[in-house]
């Protein structure tokens, strides 16, 4: 890493740290928090992982309970447009045509163990790759739900997209692409999943980390006929808060070298508010939500052994501070009236896949399987 790059990252980190501190300090006192300490200490997205690049440390291996993984023969045949995915565990890599984006979109799908009709959409972070969804590489989603009666739906691609319909096409490396992710996930993909995997269009949960967490909340708020439960891990729940109008576009540009304002327009434009979970809290009060944020204090998954890893950890601290501050603000707004949300604030944990893997395990048993009635039996 050059000295120029180091200086640039350090300066960016200081700017983000100041913003994070302002958000956390400025957040009102936590009202009715359900802070927990059980289990482990615990994106925008920090650089460094081998997968999506949203955090430096991948999740530990997960061992599901023993049992027949394909008891009714629903998992061992390929659907149209699909091939077997190298991550195994019955995951298929499917090419799904999107008229709105005028191209095929890859989706990793793990069929439900007993052929159940429930689905769980898992959204990636800001640095989402074009070859796999990081929930299958940096985390262990396909192992966590291996014995459960729910179909995992893991869209591939969509870096910096916030899984939203953009105002204008995005220029990625000289390629001008339509970014209509909300349309794809809510109008185009459900029909394919229903026809080929038996997933009902009105019986889904949705979860995401960082950028994907914010997007999961907004997709659930806008499409209540599709999603019955939502999980948000280290999300950014108030993108119109002071400082976020700067931080989000900077993070997007750092990743894509594209025009971040092609998404929702200039800061202050109406679409920023339309995609802010805090400003749409009334639409989320009657849906079960499982929401987490770490303390921004390094924990068990944070043991940097190189200069690059130190920078990644530093960035992860900053990003989790931003997430925690916006999550507290969102909870205060949500708790103004009755709701069905559970908040889990861990005593340690930065912006990293080890913590998000643990979050998914916790959300699975606390809400996802009970709400979706997707237990193995």
**Residues with a known catalytic role:** 210, 320, 351
Half-sphere exposure of 91 (CA within 13 A, CB side): 25
Pair 205, 120: CB distance under 8 Å: yes
d(CA 82, CA 76): 12
Taken in order 258, 259, 263, 267, the sign of the CA dihedral is positive
Contacts of 1 by beta carbon, 8 Å cutoff, 6+ apart: 307, 308
How big is the chain by its Cα radius of gyration, in Å? 19
Quote the Cα angle for 239-131-86, to 5°: 130
d(CA 319, CA 324): 9
Q: What is the DSSP string of 184-242?
A: IIIIIHHHHHHHHH---TT-EEEEEETHHHHHHHHHHHH-TTTEEEEEEES----TTST
């Amino acid at each position: 890493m050059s000295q120029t790059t180091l200086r640039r990252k350090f300066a960016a980190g200081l700017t983000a740290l100041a913003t994070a501190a302002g958000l956390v300090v400025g957040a009102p006192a936590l009202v009715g928090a359900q802070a927990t300490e059980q289990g482990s200490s615990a994106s925008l997205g920090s650089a460094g992982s081998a997968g999506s690049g949203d955090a430096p440390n991948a999740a530990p291996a997960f061992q599901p309970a023993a049992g027949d993984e394909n008891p009714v023969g629903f998992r061992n045949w390929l659907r149209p447009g699909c091939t077997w995915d190298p991550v195994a565990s019955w995951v298929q890599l499917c090419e799904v045509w999107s008229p709105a984006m005028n191209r095929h979109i890859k989706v990793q799908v793990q069929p439900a163990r007993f052929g159940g009709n429930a689905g769980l959409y898992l959204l990636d972070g800001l640095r989402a790759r074009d070859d796999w969804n990081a929930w299958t590489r940096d985390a262990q989603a396909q192992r966590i739900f291996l014995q459960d009666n729910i179909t995992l739906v893991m869209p591939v691609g969509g870096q910096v997209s916030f899984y939203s319909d953009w105002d204008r096409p995005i220029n990625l490396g000289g390629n001008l692409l339509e970014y209509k992710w909300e349309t794809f996930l809510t109008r185009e993909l459900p029909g394919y999943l229903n026809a080929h995997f038996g997933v009902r269009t009105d019986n889904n949960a949705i979860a995401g980390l960082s950028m994907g967490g914010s997007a999961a909340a907004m997709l659930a708020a806008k499409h209540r006929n599709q999603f019955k439960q939502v999980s948000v891990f280290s999300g950014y729940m108030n993108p119109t808060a002071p400082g976020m109008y700067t931080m989000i576009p900077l993070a997007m540009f750092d990743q894509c070298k594209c025009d971040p304002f092609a998404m929702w327009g200039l800061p202050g434009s109406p679409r920023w508010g339309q995609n802010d979970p805090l400003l749409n809290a009334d639409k989320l009060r009657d849906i079960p939500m499982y929401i987490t944020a770490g303390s921004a204090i390094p924990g068990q998954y944070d043991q940097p052994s190189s200069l690059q890893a130190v920078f990644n950890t530093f960035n992860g601290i900053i990003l989790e501070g931003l997430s925690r501050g916006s999550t507290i603000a969102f909870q205060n707004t949500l708790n103004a009236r009755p709701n069905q949300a559970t908040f889990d604030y861990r005593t340690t944990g930065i912006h990293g896949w080890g913590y998000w893997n643990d979050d998914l395990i916790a959300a699975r048993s606390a809400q996802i399987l009970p709400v979706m009635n997707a237990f193995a039996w």
